[in-house]
Amino acid sequence: MLTLSWAIDQINFTIPVHDPMLAAIAGGAILGTGAGITLHSLGSSGGNDVIAVLLNQKFNIRMGTFFFGFNLEEIVFDLDPDAFVTIERTFNVLGRGFSHRKIY
Every domain of the chain and the residues it spans = 20-100
Per the CB < 8 A criterion, the answer to whether 49 and 42 are in contact is no
Return the number of other C-beta atoms located less than 10 Å from residue 86's C-beta. Answer: 9
C-alpha 32: how far from chain center: 9
Q: Please report, in tens digits, the pLDDT of each residue of the chain (104 residues total).
A: 788 788 888 888 777 888 888 888 988 998 889 888 888 887 777 778 888 888 888 999 898 889 888 888 877 766 555 555 566 677 677 676 665 555 54
Tell which residue, 33, 37, 71, 34, has the closest CA to residue 51. 71
The verdict on pTM exceeding 0.95 is no
